[in-house]
């Protein structure tokens, strides 16, 4: 009975370690395949937003 | 007087006549088994590269027993039982296969060479893309590696012996050799021979298990992926191999030779060193497998193999592989329910890490039901992850089993 308990414990440990390793692999894959220039894109969209805002301001001014 | 000369002249026959009848019958049986292995290897029923040297070695070693100068019976090939250093130095100069046994076999080097070859052959992009599903399948497919231990103990084996034979459930020959060398050195020859004999049979046995456990309507399921996987470059695979190798080696220093060997093979494959890759997956892998088969055959001498536990080992080996196959398919069903029906349960059988045999078996069985269903990428993912989980379990066993005594 003690053997069965110990072996089940080791199997459980193997599950925990295995899922930990899978987590590391997932993290590696997610990091390596992530978009390389997310900040630049954000900055570009921000500058785009500023430009659009200015454009809309000038359009509104003209209409008045 | 004339009979005496004949006995001395034809020692292979005289030792057969003058030995204990049990030994003589076992020798004849092993000679016939060796010839049968050569035949089955040639026919392609069992793995040709392994079975031809093993079969010929087995037949030869049992045919050529002779009288040694001290009057005992022995051979001039190898003496695996020698422990005294001075005696070993003498034998190294006489027995022509002793250097291969001492410097390559008994320290697990040959297992590591084969692992390097396996690493050079596998594409880890399958496990990088779907790590969790591959890992779950591989862990379930280790059921035999664990469930066989209490069964073996109930059959009279010690804990170390039980853990060594249970490793057959991992379906990884080099790992069985490595674990049995660490835990039950006195039984490593029969355990490894049993493992390699059965590993050849998984190709023939698992299709029936898949047909028995997975009904046709599930066996033909085509796995659909909503999100296409991002491509994995060789640089990414190399980076992943390096990180995984370092982490796994730091987690299990006792199994680090196996992890290092596996990941150095992957690293060579992904770093573009074609000339080294050709060497590792060609001469090194095939050469090591050939020598492993030959040495296992040579070690199957009747005196060595005639162990009271051999029959138990034969039964336990098949139980371990059967339970692992069942566990793998249970894992397949678990993934089927997790993915709400978008998973083929038969893929679970590929979690048994007999790279790439089980993955090919699964694809073949699925194709018979639905020729449009391609499950090989998922099956190979589970297959490769199975190699890693078996090495993890080898590390756990080698570290923990001696503490449980």
Is there a contact between A33 and B149 if contact means CB atoms under 8 Å apart?
A: no
- Concatenated DSSP letters for A20-52? HHHHHHHHHHHHHTS-S-HHHHHHHHHHHHHHH
Write out chain B residues lying below 8 Å of A23, CB-based. 131
* Nearest chain A CA: its distance from B127 CA (Å): 8
Residues B228 and B356 in one domain: yes
Say if B94 falls within a structural domain. Answer: no
What residues of B are in contact with residue A7 (Cβ under 8 Å)?
146-147, 149-150
- How many distinct structural domains can be found in chain B? 2
Residue B290 C-beta-side C-alpha neighbours within 13 Å: 6
Task: Answer for the pair B261, B115: CB distance below 8 angstroms, yes or no.
Answer: yes
B92 lies in a domain? no
Q: Which residues of A touch B153 (CB under 8 A)?
A: 3
B53 lies in which domain range? 1-66
Structural Rg of chain A based on CA atoms: 28
Cross-chain residue pair B131–A25, CB shorter than 8 Å: yes
Chain B closest CA to A52's CA: distance in Å? 33
Instruction: List the structure tokens of B349.
Output: 């059988």
Q: Is the peptide bond before B356 cis (omega within 30 degrees of 0)?
A: yes
Q: Has residue B280 been placed in a domain?
A: yes
pLDDT tens, chain B, 405 aa long:
577 787 778 888 888 888 888 888 888 999 999 999 999 889 887 788 888 999 999 999 988 888 887 777 778 888 887 778 888 898 888 889 999 988 988 888 988 999 899 899 888 888 898 899 999 999 999 999 999 999 999 999 999 999 999 999 988 888 898 899 889 988 888 888 888 877 766 667 889 999 999 999 899 888 887 777 788 889 989 999 999 999 999 988 888 988 999 999 999 999 989 999 999 989 999 999 999 889 888 988 887 777 778 889 989 998 999 999 999 999 999 999 999 888 999 999 998 887 778 888 899 999 999 888 888 888 999 999 998 999 999 999 999 999 886
Indicate yes or no: CB of A14 within 8 angstroms of CB of B393.
Answer: yes
Residues of A in contact with B150 (CB under 8 A): 3-4, 7
Are B184 and B276 within one domain? yes
Assess if residue B120 is contained within a domain: yes
Please give the pLDDT value at position A64. Answer: 47
Mutate to test the interface with B, among A1, A8, A18, A23 (most CBs of B within 10 A): A18
pLDDT of residue B55: 93
- pLDDT for B178: 87
Q: Is the Cβ–Cβ distance between B400 and A21 less than 8 Å? A: no
**Does B397 sit within 8 Å of A13, measured CB to CB?**
no
| B146 → closest Cβ in A7, A22, A26 | A7
What does residue B222 show for φ and ψ, rounded to 5 degrees?
-95, 125
pLDDT at residue A38 is higher than 70: no
From A4, A18, A29, residue closest to B135, measured CB to CB: A18
The predicted model scores a pTM of 0.82
Provide CB contacts within 8 A for B146, sequence distance 6+.
A7, A8, A10, A11, A14, B166, B169
CA-nearest of B400, B190, B393 to B310 is B190
What is the number of other CB atoms lying within 10 angstroms of the CB of residue B359?
A: 28
Interface test with B, best of A12, A13, A16, A17 (most B CBs within 10 A): A17
Given a contact cutoff of 8 angstroms between Cβ atoms, the answer to whether B324 and B141 are in contact is yes
Compare CB distances from A33 to B139, B230, B404 and report the shortest one's residue: B230
Dihedral in degrees, nearest 10, Cα atoms B52, B57, B62, B66 = 150
Whether B298 and B399 share a structural domain: yes
Residues of B in contact with A18 (CB under 8 A): 135, 138-139, 389, 392
Same domain, residue pair B323 and B192: yes
In a domain, B12, yes or no: yes
Same domain, B175 and B234: yes
Please report which helix (H) or strand (E) contains residue B66, including its range: strand B66-67
Provide CB contacts within 8 A for B95, sequence distance 6+: B75, B76, B77, B78, B79
**Mutation for A interface: B122, B127, B146, most A CBs within 10 A:** B146
């Amino acid at each position: 009975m003690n053997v069965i308990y110990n072996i089940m414990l080791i199997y459980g440990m193997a599950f925990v370690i295995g899922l930990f390793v899978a987590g590391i692999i997932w993290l590696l894959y997610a990091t390596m395949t992530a978009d390389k220039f997310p900040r630049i894109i954000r900055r570009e969209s921000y500058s785009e937003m500023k430009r659009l805002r200015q454009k809309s301001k000038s359009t509104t001014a003209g209409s008045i | 007087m004339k009979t005496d000369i004949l006995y001395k002249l034809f020692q292979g026959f005289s030792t057969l006549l003058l030995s204990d009848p049990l030994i003589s019958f076992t020798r004849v049986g092993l000679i016939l088994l060796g010839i049968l292995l050569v035949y089955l290897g040639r026919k392609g029923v069992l793995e040709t590269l392994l079975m031809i040297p093993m079969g010929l070695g087995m037949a030869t070693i049992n045919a050529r027993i002779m009288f040694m100068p001290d009057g005992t019976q022995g051979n001039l090939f190898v003496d695996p039982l020698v422990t005294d250093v001075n005696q070993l130095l003498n034998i190294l100069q006489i027995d022509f296969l002793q250097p291969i046994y001492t410097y390559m076999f008994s320290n697990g080097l040959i297992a590591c060479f084969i692992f390097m070859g396996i690493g050079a052959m596998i594409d880890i992009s399958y496990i990088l893309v779907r790590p969790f599903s591959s890992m779950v399948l591989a862990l379930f497919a280790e059921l035999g590696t664990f469930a066989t231990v209490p069964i073996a103990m109930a059959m009279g084996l010690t804990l170390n012996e039980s853990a060594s034979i249970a490793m057959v459930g991992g379906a990884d020959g080099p790992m069985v050799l490595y674990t049995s060398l660490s835990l039950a050195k006195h039984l490593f020859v029969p355990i490894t021979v049993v493992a390699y004999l059965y590993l050849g049979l998984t190709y023939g046995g698992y299709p029936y298990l898949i047909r028995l456990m997975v009904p046709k309507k599930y066996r033909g399921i085509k796995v659909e992926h909503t999100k296409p996987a991002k491509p994995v470059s060789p640089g990414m695979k190399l980076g992943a191999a390096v990180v995984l190798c370092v982490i796994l080696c730091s987690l299990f220093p006792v199994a680090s030779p196996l992890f290092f060997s596996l990941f150095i093979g992957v690293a060579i494959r992904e770093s573009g060193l074609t000339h080294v890759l050709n060497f590792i997956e060609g001469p090194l892998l095939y050469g090591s497998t050939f020598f492993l088969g030959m040495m296992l055959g040579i070690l199957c001498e009747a005196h060595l193999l005639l162990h009271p536990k051999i029959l138990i080992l034969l039964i336990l080996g098949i139980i371990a592989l059967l339970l692992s196959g069942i566990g793998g398919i249970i894992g397949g069903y678990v993934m089927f329910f997790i993915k709400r029906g978008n998973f083929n349960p038969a893929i679970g059988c590929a979690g048994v890490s007999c790279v790439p045999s089980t993955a090919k078996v699964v694809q073949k069985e699925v194709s018979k039901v639905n020729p449009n269903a391609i499950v090989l990428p998922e099956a190979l993912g589970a297959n490769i992850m199975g190699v890693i989980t078996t090495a993890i379990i080898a590390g756990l066993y080698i570290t923990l089993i001696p503490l449980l005594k």
